[in-house]
């Protein structure tokens, strides 16, 4: 970062990660500015999830640098990592709600266990967040297994925003939902991020969702960012890989490459 | 002809190379898993002693691991004590040593059978449920969710189970000792016609503090083995339902085998 530009919220430089002989990330460079909503698109197995997990710290990259607010995070100790986690909120693909706890306890979990808040106070915030994602206060006393998929996603979103995080990660937020519920979740994500003034990083392969929530879009393919730009430029990117992906065509450079590899 | 001989030679060399490779590979992966396990046990044990603790979660595990295992451990002890009295009677009458039955029952139960059988029963009941629960949490990303909510999963999930396992099994075994000896007593008094007073005196005379104590120390070690194996296999569970199933199987099998191995080692240490 040059001294005259503000410090980026998330800055990845040449991040590499391999599992055995399989190179998943081949040098990812990505910058997300404060208050920006970045969406990473890409096919299954392209390295989207691994990128996300490296930033959060659920995985350790093999090499490269990841800075949050200008601070290097790849080699920090457990205590600093715990503090860093306080800045993060995450919506998991499957919801990842704790099934042994009631809905409100799920939402309040980060407040009670992470921030050591009193239960009553945390309960009030949980109910408030529950209303914010469009659910009734009574829902708080149910268990996650008693909720539909869409409701679980909403609760999961409420849990992700409960601690008022500075950065929120969304892992395929609309996967497994019907188109209407997907749009509802997209709206909620957009509003929640705006209300909090948070920075958002989403990975998805749902183009409707990407168009709706993104300020910037980056496309990842075989462990590299092959295109990065404003969402307004997405449909005239001039990149044949991006074009194939966003239009969902079976024929194009991405599938050609796969066939070529299969033949060898 | 020499061509086929050469081919044979080549395929033989290749077969030997493949064999060496697979042997080497499995040895390496075995050593690697021991390393991973050691680090896991180190982290888990450290979290048992570093505050903050979660007293509510520990209490819940006390009840899950200790209280709910009482029926199965109690039944095992009762019938083991009963059959022990019956079998020793058959053997001992052959050389007029019926009076040794009380001692044989008391010593076998306290030193050997109560800790080992309780350990194996708890491995099946508790080890499996720990592995399945934590494995499901791993598969559904609940463990990752804990981390993103600033909670250390070693402290929150694993430490309470390891603490409860290590402390509860000795208590279970103490109860099993009493029930097992009582089982022997019932059979001897009501079935074999011994006098109640004699039986109790004989039991009391032969038992030494070290007999019971060694059994309880063994039980503590077995409780640690069962809970760490359950947690380890669940924590490193593979993907999907199959991954959780495999984790559960490994948890029970490895805990059972380790209990038998450590039973021998600890017996050697205590009584040599």
What is the total count of domains within chain A? 2
CA atoms within 13 A of residue B223's CA, in its CB half-sphere:
28
Mutate to test the interface with A, among B148, B154, B155 (most CBs of A within 10 A): B148
Q: What is the mean pLDDT of residues B33-53?
A: 90
**Residues A176 and A264 placed together within one structural domain of the fold:** yes
Helix axes A149-161, A179-196, angle to 10 degrees: 10
**Residues A79 and A187 placed together within one structural domain of the fold:** yes
Last-in-domain residue among A113, A141, A164: A164
Radius of gyration of chain A (CA): 19
**Residues A143 and A45 placed together within one structural domain of the fold:** no
Q: Tell me: pLDDT of B83 over 60.
A: yes
Q: Give the model's pLDDT for residue A5.
A: 55
Beta carbons of B123 and B231 less than 8 angstroms apart: no
Q: Which residues of chain A have pLDDT under 50?
A: 1-4, 260-264
The CATH code of the domain that includes A200 is: 3.40.50.300
Count contacts between A and B (CB, < 8 Å).
52
Nearest CB neighbour to B148, from listed A88, A94, A99:
A88
**Residues A159 and A201 placed together within one structural domain of the fold:** no
Ramachandran area for residue B216 (φ above 0: left; ψ -120 to 50: alpha; else beta) = alpha
**pTM tops 0.90, yes or no:** no
Last-in-domain residue among A105, A131, A164: A164
**Residues A8 and A66 placed together within one structural domain of the fold:** yes
Assign B1 a pLDDT band (cuts: 50, 70, 90). low
Average pLDDT, chain B: 92
Residues B134, B140, B145, B146: what is their CA dihedral angle, to the nearest 10 degrees?
-10
Q: Give the model's pLDDT for residue B96.
A: 83
Enumerate long-range contacts of A191-194, CB under 8 Å, 24 or more apart. Answer: A192/A132, A192/A133, A192/A157, A192/A161, A192/A168, A193/A37, A193/A168
Q: Which helix (H) or strand (E) holds A18?
A: strand A10-19
Q: Tens of pLDDT along B147-176?
A: 998 888 999 999 999 999 999 999 999 999
Mutate to test the interface with A, among B145, B147, B159 (most CBs of A within 10 A): B145
Q: Give the model's pLDDT for residue A258.
A: 56
For residue A113, what is the nearest residue in chain B, using CA coordinates? B151
Q: Give the model's pLDDT for residue A4.
A: 46
Q: Which residues contact A55 (CB under 8 A, 6 or more apart)?
A: A10, A12, A66, A68, A169, A201
Q: Give the model's pLDDT for residue A252.
A: 80
For A196, B8, B36, B138, B159, the CA distances from B50, given in Å and listed in that order, are: 35, 63, 21, 24, 10
Last-in-domain residue among A149, A164, A179: A164
Domain span including residue A139: 96-164
Q: Where are the alpha helices (H) located in chain B, listed in sequence order?
A: 2-49, 55-61, 70-92, 101-107, 114-122, 128-139, 142-148, 153, 159-186, 196-206, 209-235, 240-271
Residues 129-148 of B with CB under 8 A from A: 140-142, 144-145, 147-148
**Residues A154 and A251 placed together within one structural domain of the fold:** no
**Residues A137 and A234 placed together within one structural domain of the fold:** no
* Phi/psi at A10 (5° precision): -125, 130
Beta carbons of B119 and B230 less than 8 angstroms apart: no
CA distance B63 to chain A (A): 16
For residue B145, what is the nearest residue in chain A, using CA coordinates? A96
Which residues in chain A touch residue B147, judged by CB atoms under 8 angstroms apart?
A: 56-58, 85
Indicate if the alpha-carbon torsion angle A229, A234, A238, A239 is positive or negative.
positive
Q: Do β-strands A63-68 and A71-72 pair in parallel, antiparallel, or remain unpaired?
A: antiparallel
């Amino acid at each position: 970062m040059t001294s005259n530009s503000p410090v980026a919220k998330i800055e990845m430089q040449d991040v590499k990660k391999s599992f055995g002989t399989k190179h998943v990330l081949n040098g990812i460079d990505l910058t997300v500015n404060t208050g920006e909503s970045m969406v990473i698109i890409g096919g299954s197995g392209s390295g989207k999830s691994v990128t996300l997990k490296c930033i959060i710290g659920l995985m350790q990259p093999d090499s490269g640098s990841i800075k949050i607010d200008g601070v290097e995070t790849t080699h920090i100790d457990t205590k600093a990592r715990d503090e860093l986690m306080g800045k993060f909120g995450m919506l998991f693909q499957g919801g990842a709600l704790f099934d042994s706890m009631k809905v409100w306890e799920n939402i309040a979990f980060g407040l009670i266990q992470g921030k050591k808040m009193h239960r009553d106070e945390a309960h009030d915030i949980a109910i408030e967040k529950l209303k914010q994602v469009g659910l009734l206060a009574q829902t708080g006393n149910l268990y996650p297994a008693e909720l539909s998929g869409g409701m679980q996603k909403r609760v999961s979103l409420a849990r992700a925003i409960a601690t008022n995080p500075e950065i929120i990660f969304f892992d395929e937020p609309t996967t497994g939902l019907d188109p209407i519920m997907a749009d509802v979740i997209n709206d909620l994500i957009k509003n929640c991020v705006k209300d909090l003034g948070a920075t958002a990083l989403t990975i998805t392969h749902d183009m409707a969702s990407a168009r709706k929530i993104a300020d910037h879009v980056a496309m990842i393919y075989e462990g590299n960012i092959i295109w990065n730009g404003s969402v307004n430029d997405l449909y005239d990117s001039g990149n044949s890989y991006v074009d194939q992906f966003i239009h969902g065509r079976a024929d194009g450079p991405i599938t050609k490459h796969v066939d070529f590899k299969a033949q060898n | 002809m020499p061509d086929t001989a050469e081919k044979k030679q080549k395929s033989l060399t290749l077969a030997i190379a493949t064999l060496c490779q697979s042997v080497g590979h499995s040895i390496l992966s075995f050593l690697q898993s021991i390393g991973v396990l050691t680090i896991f046990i180190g982290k888990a044990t450290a979290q048992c002693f570093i505050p903050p603790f979660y007293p509510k979660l520990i209490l819940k595990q006390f009840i899950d691991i200790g209280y709910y295992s009482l029926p199965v451990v109690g039944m095992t002890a009762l019938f083991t004590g009963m059959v022990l009295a019956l079998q020793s009677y058959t053997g001992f009458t052959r050389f007029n040593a019926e009076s040794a039955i009380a001692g044989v029952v008391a010593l076998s139960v306290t030193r050997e059978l109560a800790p080992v059988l309780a350990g194996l029963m708890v491995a099946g009941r508790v080890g499996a449920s720990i592995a399945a629960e934590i494995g499901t949490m791993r598969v559904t990303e609940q463990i990752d969710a804990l981390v993103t909510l600033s909670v250390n999963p070693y402290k929150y999930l694993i430490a309470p189970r390891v603490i409860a396992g290590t402390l509860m099994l000795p208590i279970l075994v103490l109860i099993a000792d009493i029930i097992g000896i009582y089982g022997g007593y019932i059979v001897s008094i009501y079935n074999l016609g011994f006098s109640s007073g004699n039986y109790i005196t004989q039991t009391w005379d032969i038992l030494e503090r070290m007999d019971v104590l060694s059994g309880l120390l063994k039980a503590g070690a077995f409780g640690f083995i069962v809970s760490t194996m359950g947690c380890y296999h669940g924590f490193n569970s593979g993907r999907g339902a199959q991954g959780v199933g495999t984790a559960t199987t490994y948890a029970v099998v490895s805990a059972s085998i380790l209990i038998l191995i450590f039973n021998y080692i600890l017996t050697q240490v205590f009584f040599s």
